[in-house]
Amino acid sequence: MGDRETLRQAKLSSGLLDFEDLVRACRSYRRFRADEPLGRGFLLALVDIARKCASAANRQPLRYAIVDEPAAAAELFGGLRWAAALKEWSGPVEGERPSAYIVIFADGEPGNFTWCDCGIAAQTIALAATEAGAGLCMLASFDPKVVRAVVGEAADALTPLLVLALGVPAETSVLETAASGADLAYWRGPDDVHHVPKRALADVLVASGE
């Protein structure tokens, strides 16, 4: 049996195939159906799920702001930098912009593990959103002044870490396995499909014990 088949059998017998499909669908989406808002209840549910995640020493330093009011969302959009690798594209046009945002903050200055906590929370929100038919893009490239202006004095004692731009995806994104040493930059084809190369299993395993 080849390596691929062994891997497939292992996923099949452990019930991981459905979960892998979810992770595969859980891509960075940057174009959305702006006319399909997610609803405040759904956004609150995502934060309620995130607060149950693992946290170093269970310190739980993260705080969350939901930005879904149209004027505030438009202001926040102005402080975001989209897809550095897509040089010809300056971000989603009107009608394709995120309908809401969740901003993840650190309470005070981030500690040693705060970014790790943030990643765990962000990916959990991403998976939950994907499971429900929504999608998001995590953005660390943003103007903190704009974030502070939008969130107001509630953000005074907080440090913005990551902006999650959410909506119902209006684009297709596919994963590809990158050849060893190949360029890992994501790209968009003439058919408008977004392609994301990922390193092969053999290229990320450093010691498999075999």
Ligand X SMILES: Cc1cc2nc3c(=O)[nH]c(=O)nc-3n(C[C@H](O)[C@H](O)[C@H](O)COP(=O)(O)O)c2cc1C
- CB-wise, 80 or 151, nearer to ligand X? 80
Min CB(81)–ligand X separation in Å: 6
Do the beta carbons of residue 207 and residue 13 sit within 8 Å? Answer: no
- CB-wise, 30 or 31, nearer to ligand X? 30
Do the beta carbons of residue 147 and residue 155 sit within 8 Å? Answer: yes
- CB-wise, 6 or 90, nearer to ligand X? 90
What DSSP string runs through 186-204? Answer: -EE-TTS-EEEEEE-HHHH
- Map 147-189 to HEC letters: HHHHHHHHHCCEEEEEEEEEECECCCEEEEEECCCCCCCCEEC
For ligand X, the binding residues (CB under 6 A) are: 27-28, 30, 81-83, 137-141, 173, 186, 196
Min CB(153)–ligand X separation in Å: 25
Min CB(92)–ligand X separation in Å: 10
- CB-wise, 9 or 187, nearer to ligand X? 187
Amino acid at 81: R
Min CB(30)–ligand X separation in Å: 6
